[in-house]
Structure formats: structure tokens, C-alpha cells
Amino acid sequence: MNRSARGVFAQLALVIVLVLAGTAALAVLLGRELTSRPPTVQLLHSLDAFAESVEALDRAQPTARTLELLRRNGLEVRTEPPVAEPDGFSPWFSLIEGRARRVLGDRQVVAGRSSQGDALWLKLDTTQPLWVAFAQGARVGARQFSVLLLAGCALLVWLAAAYFARRLTQPLKQLAAAAPALVRGEEVGLASSGAPREVRELQSVLLRASGEVREAAAERNLMLAGISHDLRTPLTRVQFALEMLPGTDPGLRAGMERDIHEIDVILSQFIAYARDGRDEAVETVDLAATCRNALAAAAFDWDTDIPPQAPMRGRPMALLRAIENLLGNAERHGEPTFALGLARTGDAWRLEIADQGPGLSADAARRARQPFVHDGSAGGTGLGLAIVERIARQHHGELQLHANAPRGLRAILLLRDA
């Protein structure tokens, strides 16, 4: 089945068309058989009686006078046989011609043309054989009326079926469009008025599931905020006590301070990954300014190629977090020279970050985007690239990792309006 017939509306419409076509064909066949048989037989008997009367009259008078009498009564009469034309005639003539042989016996009946159009020619067994034409006459109007009536009924049935089918498919289209937001737990307004009962029940179930997702996310955020507060408070006390201790070995103090800072960074990464930024409002962001802000906190010098402005619709804090994670990842795992470039590519902004470090193999680059996959000797939590990739999906983009010739890694972040 092709693409156009995969939808519910298209399938239902196709079924309706086939049913209507079959009904019309059946109506024509049955109607012709049931309604035409009695009048046809009666007409043929009448023609037979007419022929016998004319033949009897012809035996009592000259054929010329009989011919004049028939023409004076509006009948078309010929002395030569008409040309039989079986094709192009209405089913009514074909029906009569086929039954004439059974009803009239040896009398000849031929479907042909007359001055009035389609006609049935009857041969009279007179002194000089005569052929009398019986035109279709008023029956043409009846046939046209029947065809128009059938076409009108089919059109009405089609319009009614299309209306009810659209009432069914329209709520399903709205539900399909809102499904991704419902799965993410976002609040979505769905109009249920006029929708079928089954569709309303499906909407109710999805809305209830979406509400449960929102409640779970709220509880998770509350728990993470509590964990952050409960862990960072003793960390602050430990750091303060470390500063107050007299005679502490400088190397030991520096190592403890690094550990405290690393724990604080790990907590921040866990919280950032859990909150995922979906609750942040979308607004107009200058991506070029965001890149410059992230570079201001970098630990190394960077070669940059950034346009004066790069406007887009997005989540400001999420974009800043993604760029900071890419910069930190390059500085932690790579080596100078570091480079950052930003350019417009079609409908997306292309952010490219490159370093001259050892780089990653194709398999390692694929695994590096998964949560908690990291190099233990270099520190970190393994969530940086996972956060970046999720932010890229929120902005209808993607994160790509490629080898940077002759050595190093290129991280390409494609971003579109959210």
C-alpha cells in the first residue's frame, strides 16, 4: 500500500469508494434485470401483435398504401434492411434484441440507427418486406434521471462518510502531534469535544500518564536539590576547617582543595544531567555572545572564528552549559592548540571545537556520548557529552565527534531554533 493510503482516513475513504462502486454495479445489473424484464416481454408481444395487424392489412390492400399509412402515423419505414450496429447502444436495446429471438420466434429485430437516433427495427412479412423503426424516445430521459439519481446518492454518501471519517481522524492527528510533549511530561491542551469515545479515553490515559511524569520529575528535582544542599554544606565546612588548620603541609592542602572542588563539580554535573533543562523557557539567544561568555572562563587560550552576532531561539542556560562542557572536555582530554568556530549552515548553527590531543577512535567516540562513560585517569563523571547531546536534541540538532587531522578531536554541535 502506498503512502497516501496508509492513514486511517485514506483507508476508510478507499473502503467507502469500493463499497459504493460495488453497490452501483449491483444496482445497475439487478435493476436492469428486475425492472426491465416484464416491460420488455410485454413490448415484444405488442410488437408481434402490431406486425400481425399490419401484415393482415397488407394482404387486403396494396403495399404502397400500407407504407403510406405507417408513415402518416409517424413511423419510419424502410424497404431495405437496416445496418446492424451492435456497439454503442444502450443496454436496453441490447436486452430487447437478445430476448426478441426467444419471444418473437422467426421475426427479425435489429438494433440500428434511425432519423431519431437509436432504434429497434422490426421486419414485417408483407408483400414487399418492410422495416419499421421504434425509437427510444422518452426512455432517454428516464435513463439520464436514473444515472443522475445514482450519482447524487453516491455523492451524498461520500460526503457524509468523509465528514464522519474526518471527525474520527482529526482528534487522532492532534493526539499524535501532542504525543512527544505528553511523553516528556509537558502540559498540553487537548480539545476532546466532538472526538469519539475511544479517542477521549486514550487522551485521558495519556494526560494522566503525563501528569505522573511531571510529578516524578518534580520529586526528583526536589530530592536532588536536597542532596546538593546536604552535601555541599559539609563540604564548605571541611574547606573552611582546612583553611583554619595551622601548619598544614601545602601539598596536602592543595590536594584536598582539588578533591573538594572535584566533588563539587561532580555534584553539579549530576544535578545538571537530572534536571535536563526542559523547564527553562525558550527565548531569543545570541549564540555568539554565549560562546564568548563560555570562553571567558576557559583555562587555555583559544583560537576563535565567531561572527559578531548569531541569533536563534533556544534555552540560554542550557546552551551555555553545553558549550562549557565541550570546552572543558577539550581542555581536560585534549592538548593545545584549541580552536572554536561558529558558522551558519543552512537552517542550523554549526559550532565546531577542535584540539590537538590523542583523539578518539570511532567506537570510543560513539561510547563517549553515553552517560557515565569516561576516562578515570582524567577525572570527571562521564556526563558532559551526554548532557551536550541531550541539549542538542532539545534544539533539533545533534552532536558529532570526528577525528581532527593530523591528530586530535573535532566536536561539531548543530543547533536549530527550539
Residue type, 134: F
Supply the Cα-derived Rg of the chain in whole angstroms: 45
Q: For the residues 194-201, what does the mean pLDDT come to?
A: 74
Q: For the residues 362-386, what does the mean pLDDT come to?
A: 68
- What value does the mean pLDDT of the chain take? 77
pLDDT band at 51 (very low <50, low <70, confident <90, very high): confident
CATH architecture of 213-272: Orthogonal Bundle (1.10)
pLDDT of residue 351: 97
Q: For the residues 284-291, what does the mean pLDDT come to?
A: 96
Whether the pLDDT of residue 32 is over 60: the answer is no
pLDDT of residue 284: 95
Query: What gap in Å lies between CA 321 and CA 87, rounded to an integer?
Result: 81
Are 269 and 381 contacting, i.e. CB atoms less than 8 angstroms apart? yes
pLDDT of residue 146: 61
Angle (nearest 5°) at CA 352 between 351 and 358: 150
Whether the pLDDT of residue 391 is over 70: the answer is yes
Query: What gap in Å lies between CA 65 and CA 58, rounded to an integer?
Result: 8
pLDDT of residue 128: 83
CATH of 3-137, one of 3.30.450, 3.40.30, 3.30.519, 1.10.3470: 3.30.450
To which residue does cell 572535584 refer? 262
pLDDT of residue 141: 47
Cα–Cα separations (whole angstroms), residue 150 to 16, 28, 144, 328, 385: 15, 9, 10, 75, 67
Q: In the chain, which segments carry CATH 1.10.287.130?
A: 213-272
Q: In the chain, which segments carry CATH 3.30.450?
A: 3-137
Q: In the chain, which segments carry CATH 3.30.565.10?
A: 279-415
Instruction: Please write the tens of the pLDDT for every residue from 138-188.
Output: 444 445 656 666 777 777 777 777 777 777 778 888 888 888 777 767 777
Query: What gap in Å lies between CA 70 and CA 142, rounded to an integer?
Result: 27
CATH architecture of 279-415: 2-Layer Sandwich (3.30)
